[in-house]
Amino acid sequence: HAGTARNDAGQLVTAGGRVLAVTAVGADIADARAKAYEGVRSISFPGAQFRTDIALAASRG
């Protein structure tokens, strides 16, 4: 993780910017991309945002 801090209660909180990276391995780029976005869908927190275009052009050939 990155872009994190501890609040007054000692909890880990986002502090802005990119806070996580999700990666995956697949049979090809399209498969790896699909698996990575499966992982993205399992993560949520208030204010979370993510790009939807990572490796899109490469997966289309």
What phi, psi does 59 have (nearest 5°)?
-70, -20
Q: How do the domains of the chain map onto residue ranges?
A: 20-61
**Cβ atoms of 6 and 12 closer than 8 Å:** yes
How far apart are the C-alpha atoms of 19 and 17, rounded to whole Å? 6
How far apart are the C-alpha atoms of 38 and 26, rounded to whole Å? 12
Average of per-residue pLDDT across 5-28: 91
Enter the pTM of the model. 0.71
Average of per-residue pLDDT across 11-20: 85
pLDDT digits (tens, 9 = 90+) for 34-45: 999 999 999 988
